[in-house]
Amino acid sequence: MFLGEYEHTLDNKGRLTIPSRFRNEMAGGVVITRGLDKCLWVFTRSEFERLVEKIVSQPITNVDVRSFARYLAANAQDLIPDRQGRVLIPQKLRDYAGIDSEAVVIGAMNRVEVWNPERWRAEESKLTDDEDSFAKQLAALGI
């Protein structure tokens, strides 16, 4: 399980160091792709395979399923961290997420998210500025 928030710097080649707490789970490889909300999603290979199984179990005739499959797969990169725990984030993905030299890496339970620091602070503010409204949204989801 991935938890916590970490600020990291990308090197001049676009490599991101995976937080040390996440490295053991990610040592066998990761899949990084565009997430929703203008961030990047990083999955262990096994977690990404579980997500793929859910997607492909849906009817291919469903336009939303086809669209999400394309969105996820077309931008996905299968990577293995190097000995220092770094992964090269392709320029296309860095551009999508607005990540230049600084990034915020957050644990999101079954995945890791990589954010532009300013976008993350704005997202975090949306969640904390009106906690009562947020609590109502969670209650509507049964959480």
CB 74 within 8 A of CB 66: no
What single DSSP character describes residue 98?
A: T
Scan for tokens 């565009």, then name that residue: 34
Rounded percentage of the chain residues whose pLDDT exceeds 90: 87
Tokens of 29: 């490889």
CB 39 within 8 A of CB 114: yes
CB 92 within 8 A of CB 47: no
The pTM of this model reads 0.93
Q: Give me the pLDDT at residue 137, please.
A: 84
User: How does pLDDT run across 11-53, given as a tens digit for each residue?
Assistant: 999 999 999 999 999 999 999 999 999 999 999 999 999 999 9
- CA torsion sign for 30, 54, 39, 61 is positive
Q: Which CATH number fits domain 5-140: 3.90.950.10, 3.40.1550.20, 3.10.180.10, 3.30.930.10?
A: 3.40.1550.20
Q: Give me the pLDDT at residue 52, please.
A: 97
